[in-house]
Amino acid sequence: MASALVLTTVAGCASGSPGGSGATDDKSALEIWVRKPPGSNTEKTHQSLAAAFTTATGVPTRVTALFDDFETKLQQAAAQKKLPDLIVNDTAQLGTLVKQGLVRPVDRGALAGGDRLVPAAWDAAKGADGKYYGVPFSAQTFALFVRRDWREKLGLPVPTTWDQLDALAAAFTTRDPDGNGKADTYGYVVPGSTKRGYLDWYFSSFLWADGGDYFTGFPGNLKPAVDSPGSLAAARWLQKQFCADRSVTPGAVTTETTQAHPLFETGKGGIYFTGPYNLARFDKSLGQDKYEIVALPAGPAPGGRPAVLAEGENIYLMAGSRNPDGQRKYAEYLIGTEGQRTGMAGDTDGNVVRLPVNQDVDLGSVRTDKRWQVFDKAFRDSGRYVPAVPEWTPFRQASAEALNSLAADCAADPKATLGKLAGTFATELKKQGAGS
């Protein structure tokens, strides 16, 4: 807590230049930090965006790509009163940046082009107090990667319900879809580790799709809903895959995403709920003709509806900038049609906009790979970001540990486990001042 207070203090007088005098200068160069590997094609795309902005406006820009220890270096810059003017970073960082006082609020109504963004995208920039502290820039969401060759060999349909999905997972587990005569294939690939809350991250889409939720209420007066009937139905479904159907790859309770990817591409599991960033990898390692992309169906419980976790990156306008007008203009450029199209970088690995947040940008006119359209439609129609609370990490971690216990112990009672989790959520909400 002390470090957060220190950062709040220094952020108030921080600046894109060392002086931090508070004087503004609309010709001052914009220092832009992006969370990308230095020398990568993604850095080059950001450089191109900044150069095009400078040509159009005359405002100088300097882009710095950082990847390892990005957050640590940002805090060091704050302590030295040398914050950059803007950063492009994960939506998940919003709560921490607000808590530390490193970003300034955004007037959504005064932002040119803000009204053209996909409505759901703005949820990624909303703080726990209902104010906006970032500008949406890029989105991503998730879908089912399914072994098409296995499915067709077994004569099963593309799943459009959870019952069909579970039947497919069971068939992949019991009917030797790879034809090697061994019982060595499974249905679901699940990153079920508690590390960094992986299992909750995976499960959240299934929770919402089956009519469950984390909270009810409104900002400042939230109440746990993680033990609601829909939430309980989704948790029971998850435990069933591990315990009754046994259709999940072995060792899933300790599997992280980096360990899950190879399970799909080497033929251990045939259904993997993951993001479009794996398309290029699996095309190379497995072959594009071997798998297909399928949207997650609505869950079977009453209240079930299509829903999928949305993530991405925001543009954050850092506190104390000497050029607040330039900050705003650069954000407006990045969310405009030109900025979004350039950021998508076609079908190359230089893309820094995975899914456009500008609803006027047609993904299909920029990318020829039609599989991206499954993700794009899911985001626009049913994308949901994690709840806006001051700090989401404690909730995600507690949820992952509870879900992991259900997967690891088949005798564990989902109702009792979620009831206890709801109590943990209530305590954390009060601690964060987000619940009564």
Decide if 320 is inside a domain.
yes
On whether both 38 and 128 belong to a single domain, the answer is yes
Decide if 160 is inside a domain.
yes
On whether both 128 and 153 belong to a single domain, the answer is no
On whether both 29 and 100 belong to a single domain, the answer is yes
Decide if 381 is inside a domain.
no
pLDDT digits (tens, 9 = 90+) for 340-360: 999 999 989 899 999 999 999
Question: For position 23, what pLDDT does the model report?
Answer: 80
Do 78 and 7 contact (CB within 8 A), yes or no?
Answer: yes
On whether both 251 and 297 belong to a single domain, the answer is yes
Q: Classify 58 in phi/psi space as left (phi over 0), alpha (psi -120 to 50) or beta.
A: left
The stretch 312-332 carries a mean pLDDT of 97
CATH number of the domain that 174 lies in? 3.40.190.10
Looking at the structure of the chain, the number of domains it has is: 2
* CA neighbor of 145 nearest in space, from 271, 261, 285: 271
Give the SS3 label for residue 419: helix
Do 324 and 24 contact (CB within 8 A), yes or no?
Answer: yes
Decide if 33 is inside a domain.
yes
Radius of gyration (C-alpha) of the chain in whole angstroms: 23
Decide if 380 is inside a domain.
no
On whether both 29 and 129 belong to a single domain, the answer is yes
On whether both 349 and 269 belong to a single domain, the answer is no
Does the pLDDT at position 4 exceed 70? no
Residue 50: count other Cβ atoms within 10 Å of its Cβ: 22
Decide if 109 is inside a domain.
yes
On whether both 150 and 257 belong to a single domain, the answer is yes
* CA neighbor of 355 nearest in space, from 165, 91, 104, 126: 91
On whether both 212 and 262 belong to a single domain, the answer is yes
On whether both 97 and 148 belong to a single domain, the answer is no
On whether both 259 and 118 belong to a single domain, the answer is no
On whether both 212 and 168 belong to a single domain, the answer is yes
On whether both 284 and 352 belong to a single domain, the answer is no
Residue type present at position 281: R
pLDDT digits (tens, 9 = 90+) for 108-145: 999 999 999 999 999 999 999 999 999 999 999 999 99
* CA neighbor of 271 nearest in space, from 254, 284, 243, 252: 252
Decide if 54 is inside a domain.
yes
Confidence of residue 422 (pLDDT cuts 50, 70, 90): very high
Decide if 120 is inside a domain.
yes
Does the pLDDT at position 13 exceed 80? no
Do 136 and 396 contact (CB within 8 A), yes or no?
Answer: no
Q: Which domain holds residue 159?
A: 143-308+390-431
Question: For position 436, what pLDDT does the model report?
Answer: 78
Question: For position 219, what pLDDT does the model report?
Answer: 83
| CB-count exposure of residue 109 (10 Å: 0-12, 13-18, 19+) | exposed
The stretch 305-314 carries a mean pLDDT of 96
Burial 371-387 (b: 16+ CB within 10 A, else e): bbebbbbbbbebbbbbb
Is the pTM above the cut of 0.85?
Answer: yes
* CA neighbor of 31 nearest in space, from 80, 107, 82: 82
Domain boundary among 327, 346, 375: 375
